[in-house]
Amino acid sequence: MDTKLPEKPKLGLYIDDSNLYYGAKNAGWKVDYKKLYKWVAQTNVIVYAKYFMGIPEWEPAKSINKVLANYYKSIGYEIIEKPLKRIGGRNKCNFDVEIHDEIMKDLKDLDIVYLASGDSDFMRTKKNILQAGKWIKFLAFKDYCAWEIRKSWYIFFDDIKEEVIKTSIASRGS
């Protein structure tokens, strides 16, 4: 792998909404994904920005999530969605395979991947990215970040909170 990234690397930003939900809930604040997009774009050229979102089958949650999905599209994200399931009283939607596949498909156009997830299931994805001579950086909440990711290149949302916090309904983050 080249030891240095270009001055403005070509980047893919991949948001695992289901994984980040409980981290945000535990932290007591939410990421504003418009602010995150702008923050990432300051030092990178965003080639792909993909937001993986579980959509509930019940109302009013289904309609609310559809509005959010349309908003995310309007600020530059491609939305990849599938039905949210209820398992053991909890909402669940696992996108690990889809995120891995999308990253691998897009990798030829990128210098670096920013993967917003604290899930250690992405260690195979990390290995494949590094083997392709590309870079990966994880973004996660400190208390919802696997130890394997802590041995990788990462940024805690907690450390960039002031830049990416959702501050009002008007900012329309996640």
Q: Report pLDDT digits (tens) over 23-48.
A: 999 999 999 999 999 999 999 999 99
* pLDDT tens track for 85-141: 888 887 778 899 999 999 999 999 999 999 999 999 999 999 999 999 999 999 999
Q: Domain 10-171 belongs to what architecture?
A: 3-Layer(aba) Sandwich (3.40)
The pTM (predicted TM-score) of the whole model is 0.91
On the question of pLDDT at 174 being above 50, the answer is: no
Contact 100, 125 (CB under 8 A): yes
What are the residue boundaries of the structural domains of the chain, listed by start?
10-171
Rounded Cα distance between 31 and 53, Å, is: 15
